[in-house]
Amino acid sequence: MSVVSVSMPEELLERIDQFADDHGYTGRSEVVREASRNLLGEFEDRKLEGRELMGVITVVFDYETTTVEEKMMHLRHEHEDLVASNFHSHVGGHHCMELFILEGSLEDISTFVGKIRATKDTLTVDYSVLPVDDFGPLADID
């Protein structure tokens, strides 16, 4: 197995170590390997390929970090054909939340989420993806 060096904030490393201890992992490498496999597999769901999808992405960042808000605005305009709606709100005492509603293909939504995740100084990025071309039994009703 190859050995890889990764830079990360000390706080994140401490959280990984605590997570490993709390959940019975043998160490941080095992946690990072599993997280990597999960991240790489997120958008490989064959049931979603070729379907019309909706994505809901929530981003939280410190309100003093204006570069994140600028990047969010840039992404919104760069992907205006994908972004159906966008909402900005202040949460807590020092944070902003950016909410994106996307409509598009798995590949396009995946690319958008990847660009948000790559944005420096975001605190959290959470999302869900679901098909809008079939909502189960109600989709069959005329």
Estimate to the nearest angstrom the gap between the alpha carbon of 43 and the chain centroid.
11
Estimate to the nearest angstrom the gap between the alpha carbon of 77 and the chain centroid.
18
Closest to 43 (Cα-Cα) out of 57, 61, 60 = 57
Q: How many angstroms separate the first and last alpha carbons of the chain?
A: 56
Got the DSSP string for 28-79? HHHHHHHHHHHHHHTT--GGGTTS-EEEEEEEEEETT-HHHHHHHHHHHHHT
74 is in an annotated binding site: no
C-alpha angle 122/126/127, rounded to 5°? 135
79 is in an annotated binding site: no
Q: Binding site for Ni(2+), residues?
A: 77, 88, 90, 96
Q: Binding site, residues?
A: 77, 88, 90, 96
